[in-house]
Structures are given as C-alpha cells and as structure tokens.
Chains A and B, each alone.
Chain A
Amino acid sequence: MRSVLFDHVWKKFYRGERHDSLRDLIPGALRTITSRRAKGELESEEFWALKDVSFEVKPGEALGIIGPNGAGKSTALKLLTRILRPTRGQCQVAGRVGALIEVAAGFHPELTGRENVYLQGAIMGMRRTEVVSKFDEIVAFAGLEDFVDMPVKRYSSGMNARLGFSIAAHLNPDVLIIDEVLAVGDVEFQERCLERMRWFKRGGVAIVLVSHNLQSVVELCDHAMFLNGRVCAIGATSDVIGRYVRDAFAASGEARQGEIHINSAELRHLDGTPVAEPVEPRTTLRVTVEFGVVVEISDVTFAFLLHRSTDQLTVYAREFSAQELQLASPVPGRFSIQFQFQTNLTRGQYHLDVFVKHIPSQRCIARLRPAGHFTIAENRTWAGVADLNVSATVSGLSIDLPSAVRPDTTYLPDPAAPVK
C-alpha cells in the first residue's frame, strides 16, 4: 500500500512571455500553424521542470525533497496537490491531501478571523460541520482566542500565518504536503508545528516535505530525495543529504588562480586510514591541506572551519597566523598544513572549510569547501551539536514509598495480559 506515487513524471513549462491579450492571439496562432515540429519535441521557449521523476511514499513515512533553487521542488508539490498535471507519466495520491502551502491564501483582509476560518477551511476541502466542531481547537492552537472577531487586515503577519497553519493542521489528511512551513511564527509555535507533524506521522499520515532547511528534513524524514530537474539521489536521509551538500559545493567551484591556491585536502584517521563513514564521537581526525604558491606572499592567515552540513551551523572556526605556524612568508612552491581535531560532536553530518585570508585587504584569496566531510553516528543524544560527554548518576534515594505504589506490587506488568 502506498499513499503517494510518482511514476515517471515529466513536466514541461513555457519560459517566454505568453500571448495573453487578444491582439497577440492571431500572430501567435499563425506561428503555431506555420511552424512544423515533431510532437514531443521541446519548442525553443519550453523547458523540462521535471524529468522522469519517480518516487513513492507509504502511510506513516515522511519523504524530504531537497535541491537547489529551480530544481522543480515546487513543481513536484503542485503536481501532488493537483494544481498542475504532469505532461507525461502519472502521479497518484490516495485519500485526502492536506497542503501546508500558502495556508493563508484564501484569507480576505476585510473578513474577521472567524469568517476566514470557515472560508479557508472550505478552500482546503473541509466540510462546514467539521470546521464547526474543530473551531475552538483551531483558534486555541493558533493562540488567537481574543482576536477571532477582528478583521484579518489588522492581524500581524505572524498571526495570519499561525491561523492559516492551524486550520491546515486540523484537516485530518491522509497525505500531508509541506513547503517550508516552519519559517512562520515564533520558536514556540514552530516547535508546536513540528510536534503536530510528528503526531500526524505517528498516526499513519504520509508526509512530503520540501525544505531548504536540511535540519528539519533530518528531524522529520526517514527518506529524502535530491531533486535537480531529475532525481539525483533517493534513499536514506543522511546519505541523500551528504550527496546534496557535496554537489552543492562542487557546483560553486571556487578554484581561483591567484597568488596562492589550495590543491587538495585529505581527511584521514590518525593512523592514516581514510575516513570510512560513519565516525564515532570523540575520534581524532587529521586533514592534510596542500597549498600551491605562485607568487611570494605575506600577511596571510589560514582558517579552519567546521560546519554542520544540514543547517550550515558553524561549529568551530579558527584562524592560524603564519607566525603561529612558523611559516615566515610562503615562497613559490608547495607546502601542506595538517589540522588535527577531535570530533566532540553529536550525530549529524559535518564538513570542513579551509581558506586563506589576506590580512590587509581582509579578502579570502583561496578556499576549499568542503575540505572533507564526515558523519557522526551515535544513538545517545536526540538534539544538539556538541558532545559534552554528560553522565547522570542518582543519589539519595531514601524516600519510603507507600505500599500501594511500590514498584514490586503495582507496576509489574500483568503476566496474563496479552503482549502488544
């Protein structure tokens, strides 16, 4: 059983100006008639937004779609929500589709919050009786009990988005489509939204999430798809994100020929073996960076940075001056710097960034990103970034429990009860 199926979906778009006035109709039509073209061939103004995209999502699963801008992510979502139809191939969505996209699109500024809840609910496909029965819950979730009878034009943008999200969150969907929705509201509301999505997921809802915030993909999704017109990678979230981060930096191509450049970087264990993923926390790793100097250069520093790949969090950043490295002033030729560090990190994906900065101009004159990447695997923590090596011990347990709640009498599972 599956809730969402994309079966070799292709979608073509028109890039150029459309003929949207009657004056343009006749020349436009003439051009269509006179120019002969094989069917299925792309016309000059057309392009494929999606090429042969296939994936499926089962109930209770969450798929994250990641990719650069213009990769076709929004197109995929619009196909899922039936706003668009595929040019070729099939897309099937089983059951009721809830979309956390443009959650306030149907709001009218002159109407009150209450009137807009009914209107937006109907737009999302809710029955009136359903809205009536959930009305109080919707308003409470949005935290807008005192403002329901105020026209929405006097709402702040945050209140607007919260109300919209809250309506969508009470939809009881079989499939939930989410587009960057966590960008709304304050931290507390965002956390409530995330919790709501996890609740949907536990309840067997299939989720498709599109996000540039890779961290939220990691937190919610079991599977991910790296989309760039076609499917570049699909599978376990951590693998796909790793692939995406590497590709993203490779594409940015920062190989610049200047006074100094970075030839290569190699990340290895202390014993010289290549870093085989994943890495245990608190492992010592060494990255060897080879520099090539074209012209003698002075007044430079060498920066070593460690980022979490999923959200670009800078975990560590340090600059080493040439004096510190006892590298008086690099002369033409080659040299290497070894940076050794400990992975005192929680689970996640990380990458290194090494650059050379010219002090007088404060310019970065050579950079290698990523200069290495690795994944940390552990199962003790559930959030955070630094491995603080926390331990917990109990002392002073001397409370005399009343016999009724004594563990050995009451809380032992009934042996006769069926095992769930």
Chain B
Amino acid sequence: MRPLSAQSSFREDLEEVVREQWEYRDLLFQLTRRDLVLRYKQAVMGFAWAVLVPLTNTAVFSILFTRIAPLDVGVPYPLFAFLGLLTWNFTASALRFSVISLSSNANLVTKVYCPREVFPLSAVLVALVDTLVAATLLVVLMGYFRVWPGLAALYLPVVVAVHIMFTIAVALVLAMANLFFRDVKYLFEVAITLWMFSTSVLYPSNVIGGTAGLAIRMNPMTAIIDAYRDALLLGRSPLTRDFALAAAVSALFLLFVAVLFHRVEFKFAEIA
C-alpha cells in the first residue's frame, strides 16, 4: 500500500481510485442490493413506482402538448415525452439519492474505511436499475405507436455510457457538497426542477429562442437526451457536434471530480 502522506500526483490518485473501486466492487454490489432489497421490503409497490412516475408525467404532458398547446416534435408526442422523462428521471433520481448518500451513511463514513465513492456510485446504480425496469414500458409504447428503431439504435450503448459518466460526475460533486454544507439537499430540489425545464425533456430545444434557448442548448443533458431520441426514435446517428462536446465535457469532468473526491475523502470522517 502506498504510504499515507499529504502529497500525490493526479495520475497516482486516479490509479488509486480505479484500483480501490475494483477491490471493493463487491461492496458496490452489496450496497446497491441493500437499497433495492429495502425498497422491495418496505414499499408494497416496489419497482412499480419506477414505472408509474414517468408514466403519469407522460400522460399529463401529453394532454398539455397535444390538446392545449400542440407541439410538433416529429414523432408521437407521448413517445417523445416518455423517452425524455425516462432518461431525465435516471439522472434526477440518481442525484436525489446521491446527494444524501454520504450523510445518511455517516456511521460507515466515520467509522469504517472503504472507498467513499461507493456510496454515490451505488445511488447511481439503484437509479439505473429503476430506469431499466421503466424502460420495458418504452418498448411497449414504441410498439403501440409503431416506431421501430433503425440501425442508429446500435449507438445506444455510447449514449448510455456518456449519460452515466455525466451523472456519476454530478453525483460525486453533490454527495461531497452536502457533507460540507448540509443545505445542499434543499437547494438541490429547487435546482433540479429548474434544470429539468432547461433541458429538452418535454419540448425540443429548437422551439425556444433567445437566452433561454441558449441555456437549453448549452446544457449537456439536452445533448444527451437528444442523442437518445436520435438513436431510438428518429433513426439517425446521435453523434452530433453537441453530443461529442457533451461527451468530452462529461469525461473530463468525471476525471477531475473523481480525483477531487479522492483527495478530500479523508476529510469526510472529520466532518460527517
């Protein structure tokens, strides 16, 4: 083991993060399993919630944007909205679990050594499982509207990878921030709502102009959600300039955050 002292290089730290995550991969699995098992034990509906929430929202917004203020999005609107909500909800719920992941596991953080990244990471994994459950409904909806994915769907793994990378990076930041400042979790609830309406979840980014439109297009989540629609609904390559930019930003952001997290994690026990 590397001696514990004050200084180390970016590369050393990054290698250590990866090595520790590999050593403790079973812990990540067990923590994820714990949260899923608990949800199943404590809530009667279990995984049904994962499906119900995006479905209800899709119904509400479909009425809004097809009857009250019709919006042309190139594909059946319910499908457009459901895919947007499904992918957005992955990020939103992963972050909602992550923001409290360190503070709610304070007894472990202060008393036992384990790489602390596992707590926000398992929060992301739990959200991923929920999303996969809800994704079954997407298949049903696509069948109903007779929208068949073309060859572009082969790009899906790339899109998912970028999406997960970006979500993990933000999750690490929020988990850390909430440990240092306990009101981050309240601020988060406000921010996530604003963020959702600044993303192309319910309407395409091109329908809004001006500064608001620019904010929507600058947002990496817009590029990611648009890429899902390109690959699955519109049958075109998602590898646009915006998506490539979002991918590069996500990768760099994640590297930076992972090392930052690793460097401050030894302080967690002093403040948790």
Enumerate chain A interface residues (CB-CB to B < 8 A). 13-14, 18-23, 25, 78-79, 81-95, 97, 99, 101-102, 105-106, 108, 110-111, 115, 118-119, 122-128
The contact sample of 27 A-B pairs, CB cut-off 8 A, is A14-B270, A19-B181, A21-B182, A22-B184, A78-B269, A79-B4, A82-B113, A82-B266, A89-B5, A90-B3, A90-B5, A91-B4, A92-B1, A93-B1, A94-B1, A95-B1, A97-B113, A102-B112, A105-B107, A106-B112, A111-B38, A115-B37, A119-B33, A119-B34, A122-B30, A125-B23, A125-B27
Known A14-B270, A20-B181, A119-B31; judge A92-B3 contact (CB<8 A).
yes
| Residue B29 CB within 8 A of the other chain | yes
Cβ-closest chain A residue relative to B271: A18
Q: A102-B112, A125-B114 are in contact. List 5 more A-B contacts (CB 8 A).
A: A20-B180, A20-B181, A81-B113, A108-B38, A118-B30
Q: Which of A22, A97, A102, A110 has the most chain B CB atoms closer than 10 A to its own CB? A: A22
Per the bound structure, the CA–CA distance linking A84 and B264 in Å amounts to 11
Selected from A25, A82, A111, A128, the residue in CB contact (under 8 A) with B4 is A82
Known A78-B269, A82-B4, A93-B1; judge A128-B110 contact (CB<8 A).
no
Check if A99 sits within 8 Å of B113, measured CB to CB.
yes
Check if A83 sits within 8 Å of B4, measured CB to CB.
no
For the complex formed, measure the closest distance between the CB of A246 and the CB atoms of chain B, giving whole angstroms: 33
Q: Which of B111, B269, B271 has the most chain A CB atoms closer than 10 A to its own CB? A: B111
Per the bound structure, the CA–CA distance linking A102 and B180 in Å amounts to 24
Check if A101 sits within 8 Å of B111, measured CB to CB.
yes
Enumerate chain B interface residues (CB-CB to A < 8 A). 1, 3-6, 23-24, 26-27, 29-31, 33-34, 37-38, 41-42, 107-108, 110-114, 180-184, 187, 266, 269-271
Selected from B26, B31, B42, B183, the residue in CB contact (under 8 A) with A110 is B42
Chain A contacts for B271, CB-based, 8 A: 18, 20
Check if A23 sits within 8 Å of B269, measured CB to CB.
no
For the complex formed, measure the closest distance between the CB of A14 and the CB atoms of chain B, giving whole angstroms: 7
Check if B269 sits within 8 Å of A83, measured CB to CB.
yes
Per the bound structure, the CA–CA distance linking A127 and B25 in Å amounts to 9
For the complex formed, measure the closest distance between the CB of B34 and the CB atoms of chain A, giving whole angstroms: 6
Chain B contacts for A91, CB-based, 8 A: 3-4
Cβ-closest chain B residue relative to A101: B111
6 closest pairs, A vs B, by CB? A102-B111, A122-B27, A122-B30, A85-B266, A82-B113, A92-B3
For the complex formed, measure the closest distance between the CB of B43 and the CB atoms of chain A, giving whole angstroms: 12
Chain B contacts for A110, CB-based, 8 A: 38, 41-42
Chain B contacts for A99, CB-based, 8 A: 112-113
Selected from B26, B38, B182, the residue in CB contact (under 8 A) with A127 is B26
Per the bound structure, the CA–CA distance linking A336 and B266 in Å amounts to 59
Check if B4 sits within 8 Å of A22, measured CB to CB.
no
For the complex formed, measure the closest distance between the CB of A375 and the CB atoms of chain B, giving whole angstroms: 37
Selected from B3, B108, B183, the residue in CB contact (under 8 A) with A123 is B108
Selected from A20, A82, A119, the residue in CB contact (under 8 A) with B30 is A119
For the complex formed, measure the closest distance between the CB of A181 and the CB atoms of chain B, giving whole angstroms: 13
Chain A contacts for B3, CB-based, 8 A: 90-92
Check if B114 sits within 8 Å of A20, measured CB to CB.
no
For the complex formed, measure the closest distance between the CB of A284 and the CB atoms of chain B, giving whole angstroms: 51
Selected from B4, B110, B112, the residue in CB contact (under 8 A) with A92 is B4
For the complex formed, measure the closest distance between the CB of B135 and the CB atoms of chain A, giving whole angstroms: 27
Chain A contacts for B42, CB-based, 8 A: 110
Check if A105 sits within 8 Å of B111, measured CB to CB.
yes
Per the bound structure, the CA–CA distance linking A149 and B184 in Å amounts to 38
Known A105-B107, A110-B42; judge A86-B4 contact (CB<8 A).
yes
Chain A contacts for B110, CB-based, 8 A: 83
Check if B27 sits within 8 Å of A123, measured CB to CB.
yes
Check if A128 sits within 8 Å of B29, measured CB to CB.
yes
Per the bound structure, the CA–CA distance linking A91 and B182 in Å amounts to 31
Per the bound structure, the CA–CA distance linking A232 and B266 in Å amounts to 27
Selected from A13, A22, A108, A111, the residue in CB contact (under 8 A) with B270 is A13
For the complex formed, measure the closest distance between the CB of A399 and the CB atoms of chain B, giving whole angstroms: 57
Chain A contacts for B34, CB-based, 8 A: 108, 111, 115, 119
Selected from B4, B23, B108, the residue in CB contact (under 8 A) with A106 is B108
Per the bound structure, the CA–CA distance linking A91 and B266 in Å amounts to 14
Chain B contacts for A79, CB-based, 8 A: 4
Check if A122 sits within 8 Å of B112, measured CB to CB.
no
Chain B contacts for A90, CB-based, 8 A: 3-5
Per the bound structure, the CA–CA distance linking A95 and B1 in Å amounts to 7
Selected from B6, B112, B269, the residue in CB contact (under 8 A) with A88 is B6
Per the bound structure, the CA–CA distance linking A376 and B270 in Å amounts to 44
Check if B112 sits within 8 Å of A128, measured CB to CB.
no
Selected from B29, B41, B182, B187, the residue in CB contact (under 8 A) with A122 is B29
Check if B183 sits within 8 Å of A22, measured CB to CB.
yes
Chain B contacts for A21, CB-based, 8 A: 181-183
For the complex formed, measure the closest distance between the CB of A57 and the CB atoms of chain B, giving whole angstroms: 15
For the complex formed, measure the closest distance between the CB of B31 and the CB atoms of chain A, giving whole angstroms: 7
Per the bound structure, the CA–CA distance linking A20 and B268 in Å amounts to 12
Chain B contacts for A105, CB-based, 8 A: 107-108, 111-112
For the complex formed, measure the closest distance between the CB of B27 and the CB atoms of chain A, giving whole angstroms: 4
Cβ-closest chain B residue relative to A115: B37
Chain B contacts for A106, CB-based, 8 A: 108, 112
Check if B181 sits within 8 Å of A22, measured CB to CB.
yes
